[in-house]
Amino acid sequence: MQRNEFLKRLGFSTLAPVLLACDSAGDEILNSDTTANDGTTGTCTTTHSETAGPYPTKNPSSLQMVDIRSDRTGVDMTVEITIQNKNTNCAPLQGAIVDIWHCDKDGNYSEYSSFSAVHFLRGRQVTDSSGKVGFKTIFPGWYNGRATHIHVHIYSSSGTSLLVTQIAFPEGSSSAVALVNAATAKGYTKGMSGYTYNSSDNVFSDGVSTELAFISGSVNDGYTLTHTIVVNG
């Protein structure tokens, strides 16, 4: 399935012209020097397993949706995830259940503490014939001790857990992480002072070779995160 068709099917047609390439003002497509796991490298390596963290979704089956923003504001972001099956030479895995969740721009998670009664920035989808799912969300903020990240839990079509992992973000002075966290007009007030980088993060410090996403776009127009996850399906 071509990317334009995939976005249109998910209801992202109004975002696609902005997010697929540099905009008319010449904003760069942003990435790091490390090769991102965007499905273009030709490798077939099982994605690293990670902890679900302290804030897993309590009832993910009730949150099957494309737009997971709820009332959360920030820099718009489209998340495109492709699931591949290591056991079939990394062919797309159709029918896999994919849950994602992440914090808001201030580092807060729904379903816990002061936000126990709400369910923002959590969602579930089932992969299509190309192994793809897509979500409309906002660029995550950060909190002490962790780099910017997204949690992912993948299940088989029958509900068997296949992999719990996390998505890491490229870093550097021109990265989306740096630019978004400088965007006070969008509500990101923490900046990068005290930020924990991937190399010092207690989850990612052992390497992000299979967990690093590819990100393109701009603060004003929004970003697209593209990532491929390989499971033993």
Task: Pick the closest to residue 65 from 1, 20, 123 (CA basis).
Answer: 123
Closest C-alpha among 180, 164, 165, 163 to residue 215: 180
The whole-number pLDDT of residue 113 equals 96
Alpha-carbon span 136 to 179, nearest angstrom: 20
Domain that holds residue 97: 3-231
pTM score, two decimals?
0.84
Pairing of strands 97-101, 122-126: antiparallel
CATH number at residue 133: 2.60.130.10
Residue among 108, 98, 164, 182 at smallest CA distance from 140: 108
Is the pLDDT higher at 13 or at 215?
215
Is 15 exposed, middle or buried (CB count within 10 Å of its CB: 0-12, 13-18, 19+)? buried
Domain count, the chain: 1
What is the distance, to the nearest Å, from the Cα of residue 33 to the centroid of all Cα atoms in its chain? 19
Structure confidence at residue 11 (pLDDT): 53
Q: pLDDT by residue (tens digit) across 135-150?
A: 999 999 999 999 999 9
Query: What's the confidence (pLDDT) of residue 22?
Result: 30
∠ CA 70-72-74, rounded to 5°: 135
